[in-house]
Structure 1
Amino acid sequence: MASKLDFPLQGSSVHIVKKFRVALSDILNTKFGCVATFDGVDFENEPNIANHKAVVPEKRVSVTLPSGVQVSVWKGDLTSLSVDAVVNAANIRLEHFGGLASALSSAGGPKIQRESNDYVFRHGNLKTGDAVIFDAGSLPCKKIIHAVGPELPHHPSWNEVSLAEPELQKAIESILDRVKEHHLSTVAIPAISSGLFNYPRPDCVNTIVSSVKKYYEYFQHGHRPKEILLVNNDEPTVKEIERAFHGIFAPSTMMTYSQATAKNTRSATKASPTIQIGNVRVTLRKDKIEEQQTDVIVNTASQNKNLSEGQISAAILMKAGNGMQKEMHSAKSKGHIITTKPYKLNCKEVYHTFCISKGQHTAHQILFSSVNDCLDMAVASHYKSIAFPAIGTGNLGFSKKEVARMMMDAVYNFTQNHQKKMDVYFIIFPSDHDTFQAFEEQIKICQQNASHSSFAPAAAVDRRDIHGSRGSTPNISLCGPSRESTAEAEKWLTDLFTFSSSDIHNNLILHWGEEEHQQLSRLTERRVSIEEFFTQGHACISIKGVSIEEAADALLQVEAMLCDIQKELISEGEREIRMLSDTKVSAERLTVDDSSLEFSGRLSAFKSQNLRILKVEKVKNPALQVLFDLKKNQLRCSTSKTMFQCIPAQFCEMISRIGFHAECAPPEDPAYGEGIYFARTVKKAMDLWKLKKDKYLYFVEAEVLMGNSTPGKRGLILPPPVGSDPGVIYDSVTGGGDTSVVFSGYQALPTYIITCKRV
C-alpha cells in the first residue's frame, strides 16, 4: 500500500537540498523507491516538474495539417486545462507518486489512483508504449490518458536513446489511438519521459512532434480531433518543443541567416549571425581561432596532450609558442579540461578540452559537458567573453549538424543557470562553409523560437491557492510504495542531515572505473576525509567531514555514483536477458493476500527468529523463468532447492528485474568462494548476513539449481574442476548443509520477496 510522509527541513539541511535536489531525488527513488517533492524551498525559479506550479495557459504557435488537424504548442498547467483529455506520463504500475503524475492525481482526486489500481489488478502492469484511458475525476477535462514512455538511465548513452526512440513513438501512437477510439476533440500531451524517466529533452520533443506529424499528416480514416496541444509548464521544455515544432513542421520556410538578411540590405550579408539568449550574446564568425581577442580561447586537444595533433590545436600551438606545450605536461585537469596561460595569444587564458570519438560510450555527453564546463569556469573567473571552435567535427567523427546542435544546447543550458553577462563566439575556419552553415541554421532556429516568445512572463498561480493552504515550512514530501520504504528513507535522511561522518557498505563500488575514482579523489581535496577499503568480502567507503554540510555533500555524490552504477547494471542485465531468452523483459511483484496459505505458510519460520512478516510479494519474471529452465536442462537438474537471501532494500527491485548478483548480498564472511550465497533456512540467512541491524529486513525466497556440488573454499571465483580436466567443473559449491553458493545468477530464480520487521 502506498505511503506518504513529510520530512521537515531546517538549518543546513535546507542548503543541502538546494544544492543537491536532483541527486537527492534520484537517490531516494533508487534506494527506497520513494518519489520526493520539495515544499517551501526556494530553488531560484529552477524549472522542476516535481514542484508543479499552475500557469496561465498561453498558446505559442500552431499549424493546421492537410488532414485538418491542428497541432499547437502551449505553456500551461495540465491540471487546470479545459480540454477533452489530458495525458499523464505514467509508469508501468500506474503508481502516480511523482512529478506530473502526482500533480494530476492530486488534482483529480482519489478516483485517479483507484481506477489505476483496479486496472492493474485486473490486467497486470502496462508495457512501455501502452496507453489506457479513464475518467478524469475532479480534473476540468473529461478523460485522462495514462501513457508509459521509455525509462532511461540517469545519464543515457546515445545508443540507449536511439533504442528508446521507437518505444516513445509507440507511446505517442497509442495515445492518438485512444483519441480516435473515444472520439476526443482536444487532447493535451506533455513531454512524456523527459522528466523522471531521463529521456534527454531535445531528443524527446523531437520524437514527440515528429510522431504526431506522422500520425495525422495524411490521416484519412476514422475520427479526427480538432486540436492536439503539446503542453508543458516549464519554460525550457516549452522552448524545446517550439524549436522542434519549427524544424519539423516548417523546414522549407527556414532560411539561413544570410538568405534572411539579404532580403533587407546588401550590407547585411556581411554581418555576423548573432542571437541574445538571456544575458548571453552568441555570435557566429568566420575567422581563425588563434587570432581571437576574447578573455578565453577554447582549444580541442588530443588525449595524449600533444598540441601539434589536430588542425585547431596545432594552429593555437604555433601562435602561442612551445611554452604552452611544456605547461600542458604538468597541468592538472578539471574534468575534461586543462587550463594554461595564453603565452603569445591575445587572451587571458586557454581552456583545452579533451573529448572522445563519437563511437565511444558517453562521447556526446562529454562534448556537451565540456562546452558547459568551459562556460561555468569562465563565469567563475569573472571573464566576459569566450571563443569556441567547432569541437568534434574533425577526427572525433561527429557530424557538423550534431556539433552545432550540441554546442548551442550547451550554451542554452548555461543560460538557464547563470545570470551573468557573457559574449560567446563560435569561430569557424573561413573556408569551412558546411560547418558555418550548420551553426547558422541552429542560430536561426533559436531566433525563430525567440520571435515567438517575446511576451511578458505568465503569472504563476500557486497550487496551494487552488486546493487549500499548505504550510510553507521547508520539507521533503516522500511518496513510497509502502510504509517501510518511507520509514527507511526517513531514517536515511535523518542520518544524512545529522552526522558529519558515515560509512557506506556497497559492493557496487567494485564496478567503479577511472572516472568515479577521479571524482572521489576530487572530493578529498576539500575538507572531507574519505577512506575506501575492502574487508571480508565487503567494499566500504568511510566519509568524515569538518561539518555536516560538507559530509553530506560528499556522501550524496558517492551515493549518486553508486545509483548510476546500479541503473547501468540493470540496463545491461535486461539487454542480456532479452538477448539470451528472446523474451521481453518484464517484472511484477504481486502482493500476496495475508489470509492465504502462501502468506501463513511462511510465518513460523520467521517468527522463530523474532521476525514479523509485514508483506509477501510474488515475483513474476517470464524472461528469467526461461533462462532458469534453460539452465536446468543444461545442468540436467530435475529439481531445485528453496533457499533464502537477506538483501538491502535498494536491491529488491534490481533482483526482481535481472535476477541475482553477488554484489547485492555479500555474506558477512565469504568463506566458500566469491559467488552468490543462499541459505537453506531463515536462521542460517540471519547468520550469513549479520550486518542486517535495520528495523526492517528484506528476504528473497528463490529456487536454486545446485547440480553437481562440492565443498567450497575461500577465494573461489568459479567452482573447482571435477577431475583432472580443468574444462569440466562442478555446478556449485556448499558450505555445509545449510549454505550453497552458485556462480551464475541464472541458476537461481527469485520467487518471493518477504518484508519483515524485528520484534
Structure 2
Amino acid sequence: MYHQVYQGNAFTFDFFSQQCTLSLVVLHACFASDTKPVMEDGKAFILLQPEGIEILKRSSSAFCRGLEGKFGCTAQIHNLEDHTASSFSHSKATIVPDIKYSKQLSKSLKVSVWKDDLTTHKVDAVVNAANEHLNHGAGLALALSRAGGRMIQQWSDEIIKQKGKVHTGEAVATRAGNLPCKMIIHAVGPCVSLKATKTELRDASDLLEKTIWSILRKANYENMQSVAIPAISSGLYNFPLQKCAEIIVATVKSFSDKRNPEAGNLEVRLVNNDDPSVQQMHRACREILGPSDLMPMQNQGNAPTQSPVSSLDLGNVTLHLKKGAIENETTDVIVNTIGPNLDLSKGQVSAALLKKAGRKIQDEIKRLKHGHVHEGDIIPTSGCKLNCMAVYHTVCVPKSTTDDKANKILHSVVTNCLVRASTEGWSSISFPALGTGNLGLGKDEVSQIMTTAVVEFSKYCKDSKIKIFFVIFPKDTDTLKAFEKEIASTNTRLQTFQMSSSTKSHDNLSIRTAPCIELFAPSPEALREAKRWSFDMLDLRSGCQKIYNNHVLHLNQEDHEKLMSLQVSFNVIISEFFREGKGGIIINGEPVGTRCAALEVEAMLCQAQEDFAQSEEKYMQGDLEHMYVADDFGQRQQIERMSNRSYRKTPIDLNDWAVKERLRNFAKCGLNIVKVEKIENYALQQLFKLNSKRIQPPPRRLYQCVKAQFCDLICRVGFQREYAPPNEQKYGAGIYFTTEVDKAKSLWTDNEEEYIYFIEAQVLTGKETQGSSEMIVPPPFGKDPLVRYDSVTNKRGIHIIFNGQQAYPEFLITCSKQANQTYF
C-alpha cells in the first residue's frame, strides 16, 4: 500500500491529526528537493562599483557561500578579471603627465587640464575625494592613502577625533606623507543615488559648488601656488560626470572673478587619470572659459587626424570621436555618402575623398554599379590613393518633413557598414557625420542614430575586435559638440546602469561587458534580502563591521585559527563578543580589508550554523528511530528520512478568511502581510506531540520574530536559542515568544532587513513562573530539584521555553512595513 521511490519508502502524513496513514503519492510532490528552484522573477543583476570589484577579487568565494547560507541564493560573478578595481588603481603602470588645456583667467590665477596620476602629480596640494569620516578605503582616497603611507589615515583619524565628521561641502587639510606635494586637502563632495531625481541633483549641485569653494579657499589660505583637483563625486558618489565638470570649471571661474587681484599666484589643475574625466574637464573648459592658450601641436590643414576627444568602451568594440579630415584617416575602411547619380564631386566629404584618392575611385564606382542604385545601398571600392584598404560608399536619402525614412536608412547604413567590415575581417573603420550636409539631417539626431547603431552592433560583435572612429571636421564645432554630448550621455548610462530581474538582462550591453553579480533566488523576498545584504557588504562607509550571529559559540579550534590568519591577510583586528544573550564578531581596519574579512567570517558562521543544524537533525532522528506508523491495514511501518529537506512550506491564499483576520491584526501593528506559508515537518510534529503528552495545559499560539537567514532553519530543525535572541534576555537564556505581534516587534527591534518575518507557533508553556536574567533552565518546581517548571514568563505577554521541542512552527508570515521606503 505504499509507493517505492528513490532509496526508501514514500509516505504522506496527516500532520494535524493523531493518526498517520500511508498513501500512494510520490515524495518529491510533497517535500522540496535538495535542488533549490530558480523562479523567473527570482533573478537579478548587480553592477559592481570599483570598491566592490576590489573586495570580490579577494573574497568572491566567501561572498557566494554567504549568500547561499543566509538566503539560499546562488551568485555568479561576471567579468571580474577584465577590469581594474578603480580608475585610481594602485597599479604600478606609469602615466606620463599630459597637459590638455591651459588658460590664464586673471593676473594671478591659471586653470589647466591634465591627464596624470594624482599619487605622483607634482603640485603644492592634492585634493582627495573623501567621505565624511575620512575613511580612505576605496578609489582615489585609497590610492592616495597607500602612496602617502599609513600616517595619512592616522592624521585623518585625529581630525575626526578632535572635530567630528567633515560635513558634505567642507574640506580639511593634512600633511602629505610620502606624496610629492606639501599637503592633502580632503574634500567631501555630495553623494547621489543611481537614479537621482532632479531635486536631488539640484541640491547635490549646490553642495558640489560649495565643496570646490572650500578647496580653493583652503588652498588660498595655506598660500599654495598650485592645487590638483579631481572630478569629485563623479565616481563612487554617482554624480553625473558631464555636470560635475561644468560645475567645477564654473566655480573656478567664479572664484577667479571674486579673488583679490593682488593675491599670490595660484594654478588650479584639473587632474584625472581616466579618459572620460579628462575629456569632460577639457570640454567644460573650452565651453566656459574659451579656447586654450596652448599652441596647437599640429597644423590642422595638412596634419594627420588628431587624437580622440572622446571614447566609448564597448567590449570588443571601441568607439572614438575625433577631430580631423576624413580623407586623412589611416583606418582599414572609410565610409562615404554618395547620391543616386554616383557623382563623387557632389558633396563636401565625397569631393574631399575624390580629390585625394584620384579619378580611379570614381571609375571603380561606375564599373561596380552601372545599373540603378537603391536607397541604403553600400558600394565598396578600393582605397586607391587614400590611406585605407577600402571605401564604403553609402546611398542615404534627404531629410523629409513627412516621415522618418531618412533616419531609418541612416541607422541601417551604419549598421550594415559595421557588419560588413567585421565580416570582411577589417579591424578599424572611420565614419564622417553622415547626412549632416546636403541631406539636411540634424546634428543631434545624427549623433544619436550613429552612436545607437554602434552600441547595438557591439552586442553581436563577439569574435573579433574593431575600432570605430567618428571623424568630425575641425571647424564644425556644433557637430562635434552634438557627438560629444551623445557619447558622454551613453557613457554615463552604461557606467551607472543596473539590471533587475524584470528587464532583458541578457541583451544588455553593460551586463555583458561590465563586472557584475548575477543572483538566483528561490523567491522574490529572498532576492531582495540578498541584494540588500550584497550592497551592505560591498559598501565602504565604515572601517568597522559588526556581525551578530550566536553560532560564534560553535566555532571550533580550526575556525579560531582561521580568524587569526584573517587578521594578518587583511590587516584587520578581529574580536568576539557575547553579552545579554547575543554574540558575534567585530572587525576593525581599513574599509576594504574589513569588508573582505567580514565576508570570510560570514561564510564561516554559515558553515557553523549548517553543521549545528545537521547535528540537530541527527538528534531528532535518534529520538524518532524507534517510532513507527501504521498503514491502512494496521501493519507497522518504519519511518525513514528521505532527504535533508524533510519539510515543506505551502503558501496560503491571502483571501482565506483566517488569513484576512491576520491581515487586520498585523495592519494594526503597522505591518502589511506579503505572504503566509504553512510549515509542515513530520519529525518536529512528532516530537512536539510527545512533549504535549507530558506538559499540560494545551499549547498556546505565540509569535517569534526572526531574521531571514533563520526562517528555513526553524522550519527544518525547530526553534533554537541561537536563532532569535531578543535585544535583551531579561527573563532567562531561553527561547522567547510573545502573545501579540506588537510585543514581538518591540522585543526584536534590530531588524534592518527588507521584510519582517514572524513565526506563528504552538508552544507548550505548561507550568510557568516568573523569569530572571540569570536563569539558563527553569527553576525547580517544589523541593525536588529534578522536577522543574516548564517555562518562565514576565507575566505581561512574554514566554520563555528552554527546550525547542516544546514549540512547533505552524506558519511563516512575511511582512512589509506600511509606507516602507526600501533600499531598492
Q: Normalised by the shorter chain, which TM-score bucket?
A: 0.3 to 0.5
TM-score, structure 2 as length reference: 0.42
Larger CA Rg, structure 1 vs 2: 2
TM-score, structure 1 as length reference: 0.45
